[in-house]
Each structure stands twice: as structure tokens, then as C-alpha cells.
């Protein structure tokens, strides 16, 4: 595992996702649910950090489970375009600090989620 500027990378993630395609749809939903729970605390903390700046933008943070991993993304569309640095502001003020604050907890939750997924596969 290596720590990048804005991500926590997991070795073998692509192989895990590729192997999960062979599972039944219900099992895949459980897999996605487990990984969604991993990022929820980062999303909620980022929303709380950004709410004093812009509550509407903070409410737009959503979790996405994709083939490349779990991501906290802004679901709202750009409204005016008058602040070209607004995405960077959200990253600096909320998203990166929330990830840094919860890095150890996120890694532990990810390991727990992987254990649950392995238990599902073994059944």
C-alpha cells in the first residue's frame, strides 16, 4: 500500500474487482455496500468541514464505488464558472483534510470490508 497525494492505494484492487464479476449480482451488491461504508466517514467529515464555506456544495458530496476504487465526488454541476479554483478549494479545505484525518480508520475499515467480502466468497 502506498499513500498518494489524494488517494489510498490498495495492491490487488483491480484483480479483486475483476474476480468479483464472477459473483452473483446480490453478492456484488454486498461487495459494493461494504466498500461504500468504508468511505462514508470521510464523506461526512468533508461535508462538515466545507459546510461553513458553502452548505449547498457540501451537501453535494457523494460516494461512488467504481472499478478504480471508492471515491468521494462532487455530484453538483458547476453553476457559474466564476471561480475556476473552486474544485481545488474543496480539495484543500475539505476532501484532503478529511482523508488525512481518517487515514488509519479508513485502512482498518477497508481491511474489515475485505474480510467480509472474503467470508462471502467462502460460503
For the stretch 29-80, pLDDT in tens is 877 888 888 889 889 999 999 999 999 999 999 998 877 778 888 888 877 7
**Which pLDDT value is given to residue 5?**
52
Q: How many residues does the chain have?
A: 123
Q: State phi, psi for 76 to the nearest 5 degrees.
A: -80, 145
Residue 6 covered by a domain: no
Residue 3 covered by a domain: no
The answer to whether the beta carbons of residues 49 and 98 sit under 8 Å apart is yes
**Which pLDDT value is given to residue 1?**
38
Compare 77 and 120 and report the one with higher pLDDT.
Answer: 77
Residue 121 covered by a domain: no
Distance CA 105, CA 114 (A): 14
Residue 69 covered by a domain: yes
**Which pLDDT value is given to residue 7?**
66
Residue 122 covered by a domain: no
When divided into structural domains, the chain yields a total of 1
Compare 89 and 81 and report the one with higher pLDDT.
Answer: 89
Give the domain extent around 93: 13-113
Helix, strand, coil percent values for the chain (each to nearest 5): 60, 10, 30
* 71, HSE (Cβ side, Cα atoms, 13 Å): 10
The answer to whether the beta carbons of residues 73 and 64 sit under 8 Å apart is yes
pTM over 0.75: no
**Which pLDDT value is given to residue 51?**
92
Q: Is residue 4 scored above 50 in pLDDT?
A: no
- Pick from 54, 52, 97: nearest CA to 72: 97
Amino acid at each position: 500500500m502506498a499513500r498518494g497525494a489524494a488517494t489510498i492505494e490498495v495492491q490487488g484492487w483491480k484483480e479483486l474487482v475483476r474476480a468479483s464479476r464472477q459473483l452473483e449480482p446480490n453478492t456484488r451488491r454486498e461487495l459494493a455496500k461494504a466498500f461504500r461504508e468504508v468511505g462514508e466517514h470521510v464523506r461526512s467529515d468533508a461535508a462538515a468541514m466545507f459546510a461553513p464555506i458553502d452548505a449547498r456544495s457540501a451537501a453535494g458530496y457523494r460516494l461512488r464505488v467504481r472499478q478504480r476504487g471508492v471515491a468521494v465526488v462532487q455530484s453538483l454541476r458547476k453553476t457559474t464558472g466564476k471561480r475556476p479554483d473552486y474544485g481545488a478549494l474543496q480539495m484543500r479545505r475539505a476532501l484532503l483534510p478529511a482523508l488525512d484525518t481518517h487515514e488509519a480508520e479508513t485502512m482498518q475499515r477497508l481491511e474489515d470490508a475485505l474480510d467480509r467480502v472474503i467470508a462471502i466468497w467462502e460460503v
